[in-house]
C-alpha cells in the first residue's frame, strides 16, 4: 500500500530528508510546549539576565560578561542581538532561536558522518524521531535562551564524537561552531579526552591533527579565561562522587526512561528499589544485546558506546562537582543537569529497539505489537509529564503587556526613571536612561 502511494511522489534527496526531520523535530517540540512559544514568558534568566541586562547595557562588551561564574557566549550574543529589535519582538526571537537549537540537537544524528556507527539512514531517522518525540527535560530547556546551552552542549558532544567533514570550508565552519559552544558551557571540558584520542589517532593527517589540537586549546583557553574559579559553591569531591553514583540511577536512567513523573512517584513513595531494579534490568538487557551481537558490532560502534558511557559518567560527576544538587528526584529545574545524559541513554537504547522493530526475521505481529506499545508509552509519558512542559499563558501575556507598555512609553517621550515588571527574584527592571538612548 505505502510503496504504491510513494510512487506518485517525486523522490527526495538526503538534504531534503534531513530538513524534513529537522522540521518534524521542531513541530514535536512545539506541540509538547506550545504555550512557551505562543506566549513566550521570558522565563527567569531570560527576562532579568538577558532582556533587561542587554537593554540596560547596550555595549557589546556585555557579551563577554560572567554570570554564575562563567561566560556563556552564544546565549549572551543572542540576548544582545535581540535588543536591536523592538521590545515586543524580543521574546519571540529568543524563543525561535531556542527552538532551532533544540531541533538541531535532536536531528543532528542523521548527518551522513554518523553512518560510520549506524550505516542505514532509515535507522538513524527513526532514532531521531524517537529522541524528538520522547519527553525529556522541561519546557525551559527547549524555549529558554539561557538554558539553550544544554542543547548546544549536546550538539558539541555529537560533533566531537563523529568523524570530521572532508571539505575545508565545512571543517572550518564546524571549528567555529564548536569554539562558540565551548565558550558557552563549562562542561565542554569533557571534550578534551575525546579530541585527545582523535589527535592521537590522526597523527598522520595534519589537517585533522590541527583541528583536534585547536579544539583542545580552545577548551583550555576557556578554562583559564572563561570561568571565574573563585565563584560557585564548594563541593567535597568524595561527597560529589557518592551523590553522582546515586544520580546515575535516580536521575539519569530512571527519569530518562520512565519520565520524571513516574520516577519521582516511585522514589517519593518508598519504591526506590523498584527504580534501581528497572535500571539494573535495562543495563543487563543492553549488556546481553552487546554480547549477543559482539561479532556484528564494528570498532566504530564500540568506540561510540565507550564515548557515550564516558560522557554520561563525566557529565554527571561534573554537574555534582559544580554545585550542590538537591536529592529530591522531582525538583523540576534541576533536570537540566541530567538532560544530555538522559538523551545519550535514550540514543543507546533506541538502536537495539529500532533494530528489533525493523528485523524482518521477527514475526510481523510481534513487531507491530511492540511498536504500538512504544507509541502508547510515549503518549502516556506526554500526558504524565504535562506539568513539566506547561508554561502558564498568563505569564507570557503579562510579559507582552509590559513590553507594549515599554514601547508606548518610549513613543510618548515621557520616560520614567525605571520600568519594572515585578516577578519577585526574577523581576525585569528597565532603566529609563537606556530607553532614551538608541541601541
Nearest-5° angle of CA 218, CA 199, CA 173?
50
| 100 pLDDT higher than 50 | yes
Give the model's pLDDT for residue 240.
72
* Residue 93 included in any domain: yes
pLDDT of residue 10: 56
- Portion of the chain with pLDDT greater than 70, in percent: 90
Q: Of the spans 197-211, 249-263, 270-284, 380-394, which averages the highest pLDDT?
A: 380-394
Band (412; pLDDT cuts 50, 70, 90): confident
Residue 74 is part of which domain span? 14-163+393-439
**Whether residue 261 is found in the same domain as residue 156:** no
- Overall average pLDDT of the 199-228 stretch: 89
356 pLDDT above the threshold of 80: no
| Listed range (13-17, 102-106, 399-403) with the worst mean pLDDT | 13-17
pLDDT at residue number 11? 61
pLDDT for 349 beyond 80: yes
**109 & 197 share domain:** no
Most confident stretch, 44-48, 214-218, 402-406 = 214-218
| 156 in the same domain as 18 | yes
* Same domain, yes or no: 118 and 32: yes
Q: What is the pLDDT of residue 256?
A: 82
Same-domain pairing of 20 and 50? yes
Q: Nearest Cα to 164, choosing from 216, 112, 108?
A: 112
Of 83, 72, 91, 65, nearest to 144 by C-alpha is: 91
Q: Total structural domains in the chain?
A: 3
| Cα–Cα distance list, 22 to 34, 92, 434 (Å) | 17, 19, 38
For the chain, what is the total number of helices (H) and then of strands (E)? 21, 2
Taking the CB of residue 347, how many other CB atoms lie within 10 A of it? 18
Q: Over the range 36-68, which residues count as b (16 or more CB within 10 Å of their CB) and which as e? A: bbebbbbbbbbbbbbbbbbbbbeeeeebeeebe
Domain boundary among 232, 261, 285: 232
Of residues 286 and 402, which shows the higher confidence score?
402
pLDDT at 2: 40
Q: CA torsion sign, 149 to 153 to 158 to 160?
A: positive
Gap between the Cα atoms of 402 and 409, Å rounded: 10
pTM score: 0.90
Looking at residue 167, its pLDDT comes to 85
The whole-angstrom separation of Cα 21 and Cα 131 is 11
Mean pLDDT of 373-394: 89
Residues 223 and 257 in one domain: no
Which of 198, 217, 232 is the last residue in one of the domains?
232
Q: Cα–Cα distances in Å, from 361 out to 27, 122, 193, 350?
A: 34, 18, 40, 19
- Calpha distance 52→382 (Å, rounded): 33
The grid cell for 413 is 517621550
- Please give the mean pLDDT across all residues of the chain: 85
Using pLDDT thresholds of 50, 70 and 90, give the confidence band for residue 190.
very high
* Same domain, residue pair 18 and 42: yes
DSSP 343-375: HHHHHHHHHHHHHHHT-TTS-HHHHHHHHHHHH
Q: What is the DSSP string of 56-112?
A: H--SGGGGG--BTTB--HHHHHHHHHHTTS-GGGHHHHHHHHHHHHHHHHHHGGGSG
pLDDT value at 3 more than 50 = no
Q: Is the pLDDT of residue 107 over 80?
A: yes
More confident position, 241 or 311 = 311
On whether residue 53 sits in a domain, the answer given is yes
Q: Do the domain assignments include residue 276?
A: yes
Query: Residue 254 domain-assigned?
Result: yes
253-290 pLDDT per residue, tens: 888 888 777 777 777 777 667 777 777 777 777 777 77
Q: How far is it, in rounded angstroms, from Cα 279 to Cα 307? A: 20
pLDDT (0 to 100) of residue 231: 59
182 is written with which cell numbers? 565551548
Query: What pLDDT does residue 326 have?
Result: 54
- pLDDT for 1: 43
- Among 4-8, 224-228, 286-290, top mean pLDDT goes to 224-228
Q: What's the pLDDT at 286?
A: 74
Residue 383 in any domain: the answer is no
pLDDT at 329: 45
| Last-in-domain residue among 190, 216, 232 | 232
Residues 129 and 248 in one domain: no
- Dihedral (CA of 94, 112, 345, 181) sign: negative
Residue 386 forms part of a structural domain: no
pLDDT tens digit string along 108-167?
Answer: 999 999 998 888 889 899 999 999 999 998 899 999 999 999 999 999 999 999 999 988
Is the pLDDT reported for residue 91 higher than 70? yes
pLDDT for 308-339, tens place per residue? 999 999 999 888 877 665 555 445 557 889 99
Q: Do 115 and 247 belong to one domain?
A: no
Residue 369 domain flag: no
153 in the same domain as 28 = yes
Q: 125 in a domain, yes or no?
A: yes
pLDDT score, position 145: 95
Same domain, 26 and 79: yes
Do 50 and 151 have their domain in common?
A: yes
Amino acid at each position: 500500500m505505502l510503496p504504491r502511494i510513494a510512487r506518485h511522489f517525486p523522490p527526495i534527496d538526503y538534504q531534503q530528508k534531513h530538513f524534513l526531520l529537522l522540521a518534524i523535530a521542531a513541530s514535536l517540540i512545539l506541540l509538547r510546549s506550545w504555550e512557551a512559544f505562543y506566549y513566550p514568558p521570558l522565563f527567569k534568566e531570560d527576562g532579568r539576565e538577558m532582556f533587561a541586562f542587554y537593554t540596560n547595557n547596550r555595549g557589546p562588551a556585555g557579551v563577554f560578561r560572567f554570570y554564575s561564574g562563567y561566560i556563556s557566549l552564544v546565549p549572551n550574543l543572542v540576548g544582545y542581538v535581540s535588543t536591536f529589535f523592538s521590545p515586543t519582538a524580543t521574546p519571540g526571537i529568543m524563543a525561535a532561536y531556542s527552538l532551532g537549537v533544540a531541533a538541531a540537537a535532536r536531528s543532528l544524528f542523521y548527518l551522513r558522518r554518523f553512518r560510520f556507527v549506524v550505516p542505514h539512514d532509515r535507522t538513524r531517522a527513526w532514532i531521531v524521531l524517537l529522541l524528538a518525540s520522547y519527553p525529556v527535560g522541561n519546557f525551559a530547556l527547549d524555549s529558554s535562551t539561557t538554558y539553550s546551552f544544554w542543547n548546544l552542549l549536546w550538539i558539541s558532544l555529537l560533533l566531537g564524537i563523529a568523524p570530521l567533514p572532508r571539505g575545508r570550508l565545512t571543517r572550518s565552519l564546524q571549528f567555529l561552531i564548536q569554539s562558540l559552544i565551548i565558550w558557552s558551557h563549562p562542561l565542554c571540558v569533557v571534550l578534551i579526552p575525546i579530541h585527545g584520542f582523535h589527535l592521537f589517532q590522526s597523527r598522520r593527517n595534519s589537517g585533522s591533527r590541527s583541528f583536534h589540537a585547536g579544539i583542545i586549546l580552545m577548551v583550555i583557553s576557556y578554562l583559564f579565561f572563561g570561568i571565574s574559579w573563585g565563584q560557585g559553591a564548594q563541593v567535597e569531591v568524595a561527597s560529589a562522587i557518592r551523590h553522582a553514583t546515586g544520580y546515575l540511577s535516580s536521575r539519569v536512567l530512571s527519569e530518562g526512561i520512565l519520565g520524571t513523573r513516574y520516577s519521582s512517584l516511585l522514589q517519593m513513595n518508598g519504591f526506590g528499589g523498584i527504580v534501581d531494579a528497572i535500571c539494573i534490568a535495562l543495563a543487563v538487557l543492553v549488556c546481553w544485546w552487546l554480547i549477543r551481537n559482539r561479532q556484528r558490532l564494528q570498532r566504530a560502534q564500540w568506540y561510540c558506546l565507550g564515548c557515550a558511557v564516558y560522557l554520561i559518567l563525566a557529565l554527571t560527576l561534573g554537574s555534582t562537582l559544580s554545585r550542590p544538587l538537591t536529592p529530591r528526584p522531582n525538583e523540576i529545574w534541576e533536570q537540566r543537569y541530567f538532560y544530555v545524559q538522559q538523551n545519550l541513554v535514550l540514543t543507546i537504547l533506541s538502536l537495539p529497539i529500532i533494530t528489533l522493530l525493523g528485523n524482518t526475521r521477527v514475526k510481523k505481529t510481534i513487531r507491530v505489537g511492540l511498536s504500538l506499545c512504544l507509541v502508547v508509552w510515549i503518549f502516556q509519558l506526554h500526558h504524565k509529564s504535562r506539568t513539566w512542559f506547561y508554561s502558564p499563558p498568563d505569564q507570557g501575556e503579562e510579559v507582552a503587556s509590559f513590553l507594549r507598555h515599554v514601547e508606548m512609553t518610549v513613543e510618548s517621550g515621557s520616560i520614567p526613571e525605571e520600568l519594572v515588571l515585578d516577578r519577585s527574584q526574577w523581576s525585569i527592571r528597565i532603566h529609563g536612561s537606556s530607553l532614551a538612548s538608541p541601541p
